[in-house]
Amino acid sequence: MKLTTTPSNDGYYFPAEFKAIGEVWLAWPERRDNWRDNALPAQKTFARIANAISEVVPVNVAVNQAQLQQARALLKPEVELFEIPFNDAWMRDIGPTIVVNNEGDRRGISWKFNAWGGEYNGLYDDWSQDDLVASAVCDAIGVAHYNAPFVLEGGAIHTDGEGTLYTTEECLLSPGRNPELSRQQIENNLQQYLGIEKVIWVPNGLFNDETDGHVDNLLHVIAPAKVVLSWTDDPKDPQYALSREAESSLLAQRDAKGREIEIIRLPTPGPLFYKEEEASGIEASDGMTREAGERLSASYANFLMVNGHIFLPLLDESTDQIAIDILQRALPKYRIVGIPSREVLLGGGNIHCITQQIPA
C-alpha cells in the first residue's frame, strides 16, 4: 500500500542499526559488467554472508528468475528466496529504508533511485527495475510504504536513532542526485521522511568511491554520538587528507541532543587494487570501468550490525585483526563475525552495501 503523507507527519522515524533487527534482505548478484567470471565468485561470497547472517536473524534474498536455481543451491534452506526483478544487487540502495513509530509499527520508504547519478554520472543506463524493488520488499514483508519525491540511496545515510543523521556533501549535493534542490531543501526532505532533527554533514566520502562518497563506506554510527571512522596514517595515501577532513568536520559539530561526537579511528585496509585477472573477468560497459591497478574503495566501516553481532568484511591480512580488535574494544558485548569479502569490494561496495536491515 502506497501512502501519500510523510513519515514525520505520521510519527515515524529512522531507527538505529544497533537497535533490534527482525530480518535482513539481500539481492543476488548476476551482472556480468560488474561481477567477474559470470558473477560466480561474487555469488559464493554473497551466499557466505547471507548464510552467516541467517544464524542470527531470518534472511531473505531477492533473486531474478533465471538465477533461482543457482541461489537455492548456494544458500541455506532457511534463507528465503523472493522472485523480484532488479538491475544490480545493492539492496542497501535499492531496498526500502524502514521507519518505525513509538508503538513499534513499521513502514517503508521507497527513495527515487537513478544508479548513483543518473545521466550525469550513473553507473548504468537502465535502473527501472531497481526503482521498484523497495515497494516490492515492503509488499513482501507486509508494510505500507511512502514514495519519496527525491533521489537517495540507503548507503548515503546513517542514523543514531535519536534524531541525528550523518551524510556526505559529496553524495547528497552531487549534481547527479537532486540538482534542483538546495542543501536546505534536502535537509527539509530528510527531516520529513526520516523524522530526524539534525543533519551532520561530512565533506567527502572514501577515496575513489564510485557512489560519490556514500557515508557508509567512510564511517559507521555504533552508538549515540559515537562513530568509527576510516583512517590512514600514510601521508602519501589520498585518503590521509580525506580522513582528517572528516574528523575535523565531525569534531566541529554537535548531534541532535547537543552531544560532542566520539570518533574511533579504524584503519583502512591496503591500499588495495584490482588485479589483472579480476579486471579482465568483467564484461566491458560504459558506466563501470574496472581496470587492473585501479584503487579499490576498501573500508572496514562497511559492516552490518545485527542484534549484538557485527558482520565485518575481511580484506587484508595485515589489518584485519587490528580492525577486529578496535571494534571489540569499542563494542565489548558484540560478537564480531569476519567474512572474507573481496569479491563484493570488486563490485564497488561491501557487506553494509549489499544488505538492508528490517527493524524488529
Which residues have a catalytic role annotated?
353
Dihedral-angle region of residue 11 (phi above 0 means left; psi in -120 to 50 means alpha; beta otherwise): left
295 three-state secondary structure = strand
Q: Are 94 and 133 in contact (CB under 8 A)?
A: yes
Q: Please classify residue 175 by burial: count the beta carbons closer than 10 Å to its beta carbon, then call 0-12 exposed, 13-18 middle and 19+ buried.
A: exposed
Q: Are 60 and 82 in contact (CB under 8 A)?
A: yes
Rounded to 5°, angle at Cα 104 from 337 and 131: 70
Residues 6+ apart with CB under 8 A from 231: 243, 247, 265, 266, 267, 268
DSSP string, 89-120: --HHHHSPEEEE-TT--EEEEEEE--TTTHHH
The grid coordinates of residue 221 equal: 554510527
- Phi first, then psi: what are they for 107, rounded to 5°? -140, 160
Closest CA to 351 of 156, 359, 343: 343
* Residue type present at position 145: H
* Residue type present at position 3: L
